[in-house]
Amino acid sequence: MQVSLETTSGLERRLTIVVPAADVDAKVEERLKEMSRRVRLDGFRPGKVPFKVVKKRYGKGAYQEVLGEVMQTSYMEAISSEELQPAGSPSVEPKVMEEGKDFEFIATFEVYPEIALEDFAQIKVEKPVSTVQDADVDNMLNTLREQSRTWEVVERAAESGDQVEIDYVGTLNGEAFEGGSAEDQKLVLGSGQMIPGFEDGLIGASAGEEKVLELTFPEEYHSEELKGQQTTFTVKVKAVSQPVLPEMNDEFFAKYGVKEGGEEAFREEIRKNMERELRQSIKTKIKNQVMDGLLSVHNLDVPQALAAQEIDRLRHQAVAQFGGVNSGIDPKNLPAELFKDEADKRVKLGLLVGEIVKVKEIKVDDNRVRSMIEDIASAYQQPQQVIDWYYSNEQQLSQVQYVVLEEQVVDTILDAAQVSEAECSYKEAIKPAQQHAAEEETEA
C-alpha cells in the first residue's frame, strides 16, 4: 500500500492511498470461494457450483464489497502509520477502481489541533463572596406568598399592583391593527406586560369606566409596522381586584413540603435552599470566568466537523425549548449561523479541558461525585432514593462525573490564576452574569 499525505489548509489533511491490484484481487477471489461453498443455484448441488459460474454471476458485486472493506481498512492503517488524529469522518473520493488496476482513492478530513497549554497565571478571576441574610429569607418568603396570591374583587379605583379585567381596541391612523385588541384580559398594573403608559393610564380607573389612551410604541418594538408609532387604545375596565396573600400557616408551609415545625422550620428550609442556590451561582460564575480566561489565552483552530456536530446539538436544544416535536419545528431548518459562535466556543473549551485532563493527569474524584449527588438529592423529600437512582443509572452517573471532572479542571486553573474576592449581596450573587452585564450597560 502506498500513502501520500498533504496539508491542504489549516487542520485539513488529504491522504492519497493506493492498494495494489494483486491485494484486491486476492481478497475478491477469497470472497468468491467462500460464496461458492454456500451459494445455491438451480442445476447444481449445494456447495458444488463451479467457481467460474460463481465468479461470472457474483464477481462484480464481490468486487464492490471488497473495495468498500479495503477502503476502510487501508484508511485506518494509513492514519495509524502517519500518526494522525482525525476529527470526524473523512470525505472519500475514489480515483481508480477498475478490475485489474491498482485501487486508488483520496480521503480528506480534519485533524485535531495541536494544543500547547499557556501559563494559567495570565487568567484573572473575581470570586463573589456572599451569605444569605435574614432579610434575604424575608424577601424570599414574601416572593413565595406573592406567587400564591389570590384576587378579590373590590369596589374602588384601581391602584398599582391591582388586577384589572379589561376589553381594549388599539387603532393606528384610525384603523384597528393586528394584535391590538382583546376581550376579558386580566392585567396586573405595574407588571410591565403592556407597552409603556398603558398600565399607568389605568391607575385610578374603576369598574365600568372607559379610558382612551394615546400611546407611542417603543422604537425597539418587534413589529416593524408599530415601531415608534402613535396609537390610540380604547379600554373598558370591567372589574378591579386586589391581591390577597396567603396566611403563614401549616397549610401554606405544606405546599412547599414542610409538614412539621411551623414557620421556624419553613424559614430554615428556605434558607437551606437559598444557600444551595448561592453556592451553585458562585461556582458557576467562577467557572465561567475561568473558561473565558482559558479561551482568551489560547488561540485554537476549530475542526469544522466537530463544530457541525455541536451546531446540531444546539439546534435540537433550541427546538426542545419550544416544545420539542410538538413545536412543529425541524431542527435542520434553523440557520447554522445562529449557533456557530457558541458551537465554536464549546468545541474549543472541550479540547482545552481534555488537554488539561491529559497533561495534568486528572482523575475523577469519587468522593466529590458522591458529595455532588448527595447535594442534589438533599432538595428532594426522599434523598436516598435519588442517590440510589444516580448510582444505578450509568448515563446519569457519567454526567455527574464529567461535571466533577470539569470542576477539578477549574480548581487546577484557579491554583495558578490571579484570584481576587468581591463582597456582594445575595441578590447580586445569584444574578446571571449576562443580566448583570446588561444592567451595567443600561446604567452606563
pLDDT tens readout for residues 312-340:
999 999 998 887 667 778 888 899 999 99
pTM of the entire predicted model: 0.76
pLDDT band at 49 (very low <50, low <70, confident <90, very high): low
Residue 109: its H or E element: strand 103-110
Residues contacting 111, CB < 8 A, separation 6+ = 11, 13, 84, 85, 86, 87, 303
Are the C-beta atoms of 179 and 225 separated by less than 8 Å? no
Are the C-beta atoms of 436 and 140 separated by less than 8 Å? no
91-129 pLDDT per residue, tens: 999 998 888 899 999 999 999 999 999 999 999 999 999
**Given the DSSP bridges, would you call strands 124-129 and 103-110 parallel, antiparallel or unpaired?**
unpaired
What is the pLDDT averaged over residues 264-271?
94
DSSP annotation of 45 reads -
13-35 pLDDT per residue, tens: 999 999 999 998 899 888 888 77
Task: Answer yes or no: is pLDDT of 231 > 60.
Answer: yes
pLDDT recorded at residue 321: 85
Q: Does residue 430 or residue 379 have the better pLDDT?
A: 430
pLDDT recorded at residue 442: 42
152-193 pLDDT per residue, tens: 999 999 999 999 999 999 999 999 999 899 999 999 999 999
Are the C-beta atoms of 302 and 346 separated by less than 8 Å? no
pLDDT recorded at residue 33: 80
- Lowest-confidence pick of 66-70, 96-100, 194-198, 267-271: 96-100
> Residues for the chain: how many in total?
444
CA distance 377 to 312: 32
**For residue 301, which phi and psi values (nearest 5 degrees)?**
-80, 140
pLDDT recorded at residue 444: 39
- Cβ-based burial of 345 (10 A; exposed 0-12, middle 13-18, buried ≥19): middle
Domains within the chain, CATH numbers bracketed = 2-110 (3.30.70.1050), 120-134+258-443 (1.10.3120.10), 150-244 (3.10.50.40)
Task: Answer yes or no: is pLDDT of 52 > 80.
Answer: no
Mean pLDDT of the chain: 91
